[in-house]
Copies of this chain bind each other. A is one copy, B any other.
Amino acid sequence: MIYFDNGATSYPKPRNTYIAAAEAVKNYGFNSGRGGYVESVRTAEKIYSVRERLGALFNFQPQNIAFTANCTAALNMAIKGSVKKGDHVIISSLEHNAVWRVVNHLKKDGVIDYDIAKFSYDDDETVNNFESLIGKRTSLIVCMAASNVFGVAFPIDKIGETAKKHGIRFIADGAQAAGVMPLDAEKDNIDILCAPGHKCLYGIMGTGFIAVREGVHLETILDGGTGSESLNPDQPDFLPDRLEAGTLNNIGIAALGAGIDFINSVGMENIYERELGHAQMLYDGLSENKNAVLYCKRPEKYKNAPIISFNLGDNQSEKTAALLAKRGIAVRAGLHCAPLAHSHFGTLERGTVRLCPSVFTTRRECEFLLNTLKKI
C-alpha cells in the first residue's frame, strides 16, 4: 500500500511508537494515581512524563494537559466547558464537524449563537473577518490551525492576539498541525489547545489531549472517578484530574510519548519541510496534469499544512479514490467531515480527493501517485 491518508491517521508509525505500545500493554497497564504498588506508581510517572513532553512542545504546564479519547472529545470538552447561556461564539469558515456540530448543538439547545468568520489568503483580512464579528456577548473564538481538507493555515498567533485584546477565550484546534507546525500557548495566545495523538504526533489511535492555560476554568462534560477527592460530589477543581474521569488509555499515552520523542529527535521543522516538500511536489505534478482540478494556492512554508485537495476530470471524488485504491494507493475522498470547508471552496457537490504525506512518504511514492493519476 502507498499511503496518503495521514490526515486521518499517520501510518506507519516510528519504530519506537510500536515498541512503546507493546511495552506499555505489558508494563504500564495499571491504574495510575489509584494504587500505591510500584507498578502503579511507575505507570503514573510514565504518564506524567508524556504530559511533560507535550507541555514542552506546546508551552503549557504539564499538569494542565489532560488526555482524551481523541481530538473530538477534547474539542467538545473545551467548547461546551467554556460557554454559558447567552454567549456568542465565532468559528472559522473551514471548521471540521468536531467544531461545527458542537456549536450547532449548543445553538439548538438555546445556549449560544455563533457566527462564521471567512478564511482569506490575506492574514490581515482573515483576522479582520474574525474581529468584525466580535460583539458584546462574544466569549469564545474557535479556530483550526490548518484545514483538514485544503491544508491552508490560519494566522493563529494574530487571531489569538485579537482574542486576547478583546478579553475573549481562544480555542485552537491543532488536529492537522500539532506536531508538524509550531503552536505555542504564549506566543500564539492560545487559551486551550486540542489535538489528536495519532496524526502528526505519531502516536496511536485512542489518544488526544486538551491543554489548558493556567487560570482558564472549564465546566466538565465528563464526570466520574479521578482517584482524587473521592468524597467530593463534583469533579476536583485542579488539573488534570478535573478533565480526566475514569481509566486512561495508558498504552496510547505511552506510545504518544515515543511519537513525541521521534519528533524531537528528527526536529519538527525538518519534518515539516520534508512533508511540505512532498506536498509541493504533489501540487506541482497535479498542476501539470490537465485532467486535475486544484482549489488552492501552491503550499508555502507556514501558510499550509502538508495537505492537498483535488479532483480528477468530472469524477466524483469517491470514484477517483476507488480507482487509486485498486492500484494500491490509499487516499480519502468525500467531505472529510468538513462541509463548511467545501462550502467555502465550492467543492460541496463532489467533495475532494485528499493527499496527506507524512515524514515517511517518499518522493518515489509521490511520483508513482502522479503517474498513476495521469493514466486513470
Q: Which residues of B contact A247 (CB under 8 A)?
A: 8-9, 70-72, 196, 198, 205-206
Determine whether the beta carbon of B39 is less than 8 Å from that of A233: no
Q: Please tell me which one of the listed residues B207, B230, B334 contacts residue A97 in the complex, with CB atoms under 8 A apart.
A: B230
Q: How far apart are the CA atoms of A220 and B97 in the complex, in Å? A: 14
B interface footprint on A73-99 (CB within 8 Å = 1, 0 otherwise): 101100010000000000000001110
Q: How many whole Å from A350's CB to the nearest CB in chain B?
A: 13
Query: Does A9 contact B29, Cβ atoms closer than 8 Å?
Result: yes
Q: Which residues of B contact A72 (CB under 8 A)?
A: 222-225, 245-247
Judge whether A262 is part of the interface by a CB distance below 8 angstroms: no
Q: Does A330 count as interface, using CB distance less than 8 angstroms?
A: yes
A1: B residues at CB distance < 8 A: 37-39
Interface window among A20-28, A181-189, A305-313, A368-376: A20-28
Mark contacts of A96-109 with chain B using CB atoms, 8 A cut-off: 1 yes-contact digit, 0 otherwise: 11101110110010
Give which listed residue, B12, B36, B224, B226, contacts A76 with CB less than 8 A: B224
A181 to chain B minimum Cβ distance, whole angstroms, is 20
| CB neighbours of A321 from chain B (8 A) | 35-37
Q: List 4 tightest A-B contacts by C-beta distance, closest first.
A: A206-B249, A72-B246, A225-B337, A69-B69
Could you list some 19 contacts between A and B, CB below 8 A?
Answer: A1-B38, A8-B30, A9-B31, A25-B255, A29-B205, A31-B332, A34-B334, A37-B330, A38-B325, A70-B247, A72-B222, A98-B223, A104-B234, A205-B247, A206-B252, A208-B246, A225-B337, A227-B337, A230-B339
Given contacts A1-B39, A37-B324, A38-B325, 14 further A-B contacts (CB under 8 A): A5-B37, A5-B40, A8-B35, A9-B29, A21-B251, A36-B332, A37-B329, A71-B247, A73-B73, A73-B245, A76-B222, A101-B225, A205-B251, A249-B249
